[in-house]
Structure formats: structure tokens, C-alpha cells
Amino acid sequence: MLAKKGLAVSPSPTLAIDSKAKELKSRGVDVISFGAGEPDFDTPAHIREAAIAAINQGHTRYTPASGTPELKEAICRKLQRENGLHYSPAEIVVSNGGKHSLSNAFAALLNPGDEVLIPVPYWVSYPELVKLNDGIPVEVVTEEKQGFKVTIPDLKKAWSPRTKALVLNSPSNPTGQVYTREELEMIGYFCYEHEMYIIADEIYERLVYDGLACTSIAGLGDYTKKLTVLVNGVSKSYAMTGWRIGYTASAPEIAGVMGAIQSHATSNPNSIAQKAALAALDGPQEGMAEMLQAFDERRNYMVERIVGLPFLKALKPQGAFYVFVNIEGALGKAFGGREITDSDDFAARLLEEEKVAVVPGTGFGSPGYIRLSFATSMENIVKGLDRLEAFLAELRG
């Protein structure tokens, strides 16, 4: 029999929708996909140039397993400059992407049976990564009227003596909501009192709108900094998803364990990509502002259209590039005489009838919802929402 741990893991549903849409597209079907989980922009030129130079200058060998000293120093400078956080290179582990950093964190922190609190809706990989590392994911359901943000009563209800850590994702994928400093202070204090680690996934930290500032829970004070494994990377902020560079900042003991694990599992992250990440962090940041501006325009358009459609509700995202849409009003209605039973069915029928791909909320633990990404052109957004509108106009009952 194959490994129980491996068999217990379900493949990523967000990637599944994306591949279905891509498959239809390759057969010549005119599909509009709102499934993308990555920026639709190219990696900026100066970053690509840095990678080419790295190859030509011979940076093609093993580096230290947890990342090059120069990149770790650049990450420390970034954390100081942009987040007001002071870390030293020994507290940084550079990995093969934010997802790998999360995996390293769970591997370093969890013993069999340890519970990890995961606010719902959650990013699809958290529960699976916890299970793969012998932990028990404990879902903490949040409410839309609380902005899908976990509250102290929610945490109290979910806590047990086996609770080891809390996963906090702000800005959130899939909801786009951002925790305020005050909210983080309450959560941070709860974790401190209960001696829990905080896995702070800040991969969308640069993608926030309306001049909002994104607070890092590690920055509240020593009481949270010691407990926090801050996870970030260049994937989303610099349109570098394919390069696979993520990093953590944490207490040096945790960094040491993560580095040791990584040294056996993967060795160093790609040497060329590390040079590119260095150029991203140290180089000009103007290109990022343009990307943010484009996301912001699409966000405004998409939310305005969606809240004007029948059966649908949505909170305006404050960060990331997703709109999380409540479709409960459409469930139980019929399309072409056949009832729409749940969000999986809604997504499947929308793809079948109108050739629009969205991600059903089931994968995020929220079955009454769908996620639409605005990491696609304005032209696609207009066309896709027209089709969604046509689909909803056909609902009866």
C-alpha cells in the first residue's frame, strides 16, 4: 500500500480548474478564465537581465542550502525598509517559493498530533501541508460580516491544549481582506498567552489598495516576533511565480531547523533565481506601482459589476487580486431546467454553458462561494462578466 500520508492529500483544486480551462483553450474553445493565481504581467526587464548576467558570470553552482548571504542581507534590508522589522541573516531561510517556506515551517514546528488553527476560507494548501507534516488542521470558520477575519472568540472556541500554531494570511487569498493593526494586536496577544506559533503568510503584502498599509504581526513587538514565522517571497509582488523563490524570517532556532531540513530535501534554491530575486528586492520598484495601478482599476470594475448582478454578493478586496463572491442566492435555482446544487456545480455549469472558468469555494473550505481572479486583462474581465451576467439571467425558480 502507498503512503497513507500521501494518499490523504488531495491535489490542488485551483490548479485543476486552471488546467481544465487551459485544455479547453488548447482545443480552440473561447474560454475566459478567472482562475489565475498569478500576475499576468511579465517579470520586469532588470530582473530578467540580472538572471542572464548570473548565468554568464558563472553563478551556476550550489549555493549555501538556505540561500546566499547577499540575498539574505537584501531580504533583511527589505524587511527593515518596508516593514520596520529587524532581522539578521541567520534568521532568514531562502526557499523554493512561498509554498516551500510554509512546508519548511510546518516541518520544523509540528510533532505528530499537534493542532494548527486555520481560518476559513483558507488558501487551499494550508490544511494539506499541515497533514503532510503530521499535524492536524483545525478549521476556524470566520464570518463574511466580520470581513472573513478571525476573532478572539473564534480562536477561543477552536483552541485546545494541543494547539501549536495559527496560520494567518493577510492580505488573504481568497478573500482579499487585510487585518488591521488593532486586530493583529489582539490575535498576537492571544497567541502569546497561549504559547502558540504564528505562521504569517504575507505573500500579497505589496498588493494592497486605497493607500492601505499592511502590518506585519511580527512587527508588533518582541512578544509576537519570537512566535512568528514570517513567510514571503517574490512570486506575487514581482510577477516571478515561475522563478520559485520564497523566504522566511523567524527566530534563529526555527531558521536553523528549517535550513537543516531544506539542506536534505532540496539543497539550495536555484542559484540564478536567487540572483534575480536580489535584483528584484534591491532594484527599482516603480514597475510594481504600475502593476498595482492596473490591478486596482480591474478590482474596482469587477466589484462594481458583481455587486450589481442578481443573486451575488461580494466584499471589496483590500489586497491581493481576487474577488470572493457569495453565490448562495443562486444555489437551488435552475439553469435550463436543471437545479444548481452547490458551488462546484455552479462553476462546472458556468464553464460548460458560458465558457467562463472560476474557482469553486469548496477548495477554500467555503462551499457557498466562488473566487474570481482579476489577474487577467480588462478586456477579458469585461467579456467574462458579460457572460456571467448572461448566465445569471437564465436562472429560474
Residues of span 213-242 touching ligand PLP by CB under 6 A: 233, 235-236, 241
Q: What are the DSSP calls for 250-285, one per residue? A: --HHHHHHHHHHHHHHT-S--HHHHHHHHHHHHS--
Report, in Å, the least distance between residue 27 CB and ligand PLP. 28
Nearer of residues 151 and 241 to ligand PLP, judged by Cβ: 241
For the window 151-170, what string marks contact with ligand PLP as x by the rule CB under 6 A?
------------------x-
CB 370 within 8 A of CB 327: yes
Residue among 150, 317, 149, 170 nearest 231 (CA): 170
Grid look-up 462594481 returns 304
HEC readout, 294-323: HHHHHHHHHHHHHHCCCCCEECCCCECCEE
- DSSP class of 105: H
Report, in Å, the least distance between residue 104 CB and ligand PLP. 12
Nearer of residues 190 and 322 to ligand PLP, judged by Cβ: 322
> Cα(174)–Cα(359) distance, rounded to whole angstroms?
10
Report, in Å, the least distance between residue 392 CB and ligand PLP. 27
Report, in Å, the least distance between residue 197 CB and ligand PLP. 17
Distance of alpha carbon 365 from the chain centroid: 14
119 is an interface residue for ligand PLP by CB under 6 A:
no
CB 131 within 8 A of CB 5: yes
> Cα(359)–Cα(379) distance, rounded to whole angstroms?
20
365 is an interface residue for ligand PLP by CB under 6 A:
no
Which of 115, 201, 205, 354 touches ligand PLP by CB under 6 A? 201
> Cα(196)–Cα(114) distance, rounded to whole angstroms?
11
Residues of span 23-82 touching ligand PLP by CB under 6 A: 37
Report, in Å, the least distance between residue 299 CB and ligand PLP. 16
Nearer of residues 190 and 364 to ligand PLP, judged by Cβ: 364
Stretch that binds ligand PLP, among 94-102, 111-119, 332-340, 380-388 (CB under 6 A): 94-102
> Cα(205)–Cα(319) distance, rounded to whole angstroms?
8
Report, in Å, the least distance between residue 125 CB and ligand PLP. 7
Question: Site for ligand PLP (CB under 6 A): how many residues?
Answer: 14
Nearer of residues 169 and 380 to ligand PLP, judged by Cβ: 169
Which of 107, 168, 203, 359 touches ligand PLP by CB under 6 A? 203
Which of 67, 246, 317, 363 touches ligand PLP by CB under 6 A? 246
Nearer of residues 240 and 356 to ligand PLP, judged by Cβ: 240
Which of 87, 106, 123, 369 touches ligand PLP by CB under 6 A? 123
CB 369 within 8 A of CB 344: no
Residue among 325, 272, 274, 310 nearest 391 (CA): 310
CB 325 within 8 A of CB 121: no
98 is an interface residue for ligand PLP by CB under 6 A:
yes
The dihedrals phi and psi of 164, each to the nearest 5 degrees, come to -105, -35
User: Is residue 397 exposed (0-12), middle (13-18) or buried (19+ Cβ within 10 Å)?
Assistant: exposed
Nearer of residues 107 and 330 to ligand PLP, judged by Cβ: 107
Nearer of residues 126 and 335 to ligand PLP, judged by Cβ: 126
> Cα(388)–Cα(381) distance, rounded to whole angstroms?
10
Report, in Å, the least distance between residue 1 CB and ligand PLP. 30
Stretch that binds ligand PLP, among 17-25, 49-57, 93-101, 290-298 (CB under 6 A): 93-101
Those residues with Cβ within 8 angstroms of residue 10's Cβ, 6 or more apart along the chain or in another chain: 128
Nearer of residues 171 and 368 to ligand PLP, judged by Cβ: 171
Which of 142, 170, 173, 376 touches ligand PLP by CB under 6 A? 173
Chain positions contacting ligand PLP, by CB under 6 A: 37, 97-99, 123, 169, 173, 201, 203, 233, 235-236, 241, 246
